[in-house]
Amino acid sequence: MHMSNGVSLSSSNQVFVVKCADYKCLAVRGVNGRWKSLYDDAELPRAAEPVIAIPVELVLPFLPDIQRGRLCPVRCP
């Protein structure tokens, strides 16, 4: 289990609140280990820091189908 600032980064499909210099947003880790915006897949600055993990079940109802499929390799509810 990898930790960053006390936040567990163990799940590759986990959603996080990530703090950047001027804003906070929901993000996921990309395959290269960099943070990517959950909404538009834009790579976030290297200085982005995870604040807290968000249970994916809380985020799924608010996502379009294409983003749900990205977070859930198996069928999502």
For residue 59, being part of any structural domain is answered with: yes
C-alpha 63/C-alpha 61 separation (Å) is 6
For residue 47, being part of any structural domain is answered with: yes
For residue 77, being part of any structural domain is answered with: no
C-alpha 69/C-alpha 49 separation (Å) is 25
For residue 75, being part of any structural domain is answered with: no
Q: Report the number of distinct structural domains present in the chain.
A: 1
Query: DSSP letters of 6-59?
Result: TEE---TT-EEEEE-SS-EEEEEE-TTS-EEETTT-PBPPTT-EEEEEE-HHHH
Give the domain range for residue 29: 3-67
Q: How confident is the model at residue 1 (pLDDT cuts 50, 70, 90)?
A: very low
Per-residue pLDDT tens for 11-57? 556 889 999 999 999 898 888 888 998 888 889 999 999 999 988 78
pTM (2 d.p.):
0.68
